[in-house]
Amino acid sequence: RTLQPDADTTYDCDVLVIGSGAGGGVMAGELAEAGYDVLVIEKGPYCHGSDFTQREVDMLGKLYDAKGTLATQDGSIGILAGSCLGGGTTVNWAGAFRTPDYVLQEWAREHQAPQFTTLEFKESINAVARTIGVNTNYARHNGQNQALWDGSTKLGQEVKLIPRNEKGLTDSDSHFRSLGYSSLGDAHGIKQGTLNTYLLTAFEHGARILADTKVD
C-alpha cells in the first residue's frame, strides 16, 4: 500500500530514499529493517500483479522514463530506463551479473573507492544475491537461446548459463506461461526485483512509499 495524499502534505522521516530500484530499493529495505523510519519517493507509478498487462502499447509508456523515448542529447542512443516502483529491477530481463573484478579494481584505483575491493563489499553482493534469489536453475530455454546453446556446443565454443533472479518456476510450461515478457513487468511475482523483495521488507517494517511523486 502506497501513500495517497490528496492535499499538500508534510512528512517527517529518519531517511528519505529517492528512487526505488537497485540502489534505492535495497537501501530502503536494509534501513527499515534496521529500525529507521524510511520514506521512499518514486517518480513512476506503483504497478503489481495484473497491472502488468504484458502489452507493449500499455506498458512502455507506463513503466519507462520519458515513456520509453529517453535518449542521449544528440539522440544517437536510446536509453530504456525504468520509471516505476522497483525501477530498473521491475523492467529488466532478470539477468543478474556480478560486477567483474577488473571493473571493481578500476573503481578502487581511479575513483579513490577502495571499498569495492574489500571482503565486506563481496559479502554485501552475496547477501543481495541471496535476497533476490539469483540462480541458474532453468526449467528450459526458449527457442532462440536453445539454438544458440546447441550451435555453440557443436562448434566447441564455451557456453554458460546467465544467472537470473527468478524463483517459483516448477516446470518448463509454467516457466513461459508465467514469466511472459520480463521487460514489460512480471505479473506473477516470479522475478525477484526490489518490488518483491527489499521494498516489501521495507513496507513490512513500517516504511512509507510515495509513488507518482517527482522530486524537485
pLDDT at position 137:
87
Q: When comparing pLDDT for 170 and 2, which is higher?
A: 2
Query: Helix, strand or coil for residue 40?
Result: strand
Query: Helix, strand or coil for residue 210?
Result: strand
DSSP class of residue 64 equals B
Element (H, E) at 135: strand 134-135
Other CB atoms within a 10 A radius of the CB of residue 193 amount to 28
pLDDT at position 203:
98
List the grid coordinates of 87: 525501477
Cα distance between the two ends of the chain:
24
Strand 38-41 relative to strand 15-18, pairing: parallel
CA angle 117, 118, 123 (to 5 degrees): 110
Q: State the average pLDDT over residues 93-107.
A: 94
pLDDT at position 105:
97
Strand 164-165 relative to strand 15-18, pairing: unpaired
User: Do 84 and 46 touch, CB atoms closer than 8 A?
Assistant: yes
DSSP class of residue 196 equals G
Write the pLDDT tens digit of every residue in 145-179: 899 999 999 999 999 999 999 887 766 555 566 66
Q: State the average pLDDT over residues 27-49.
A: 97
Model-wide pTM > 0.85 = yes
List the grid coordinates of 24: 534505492
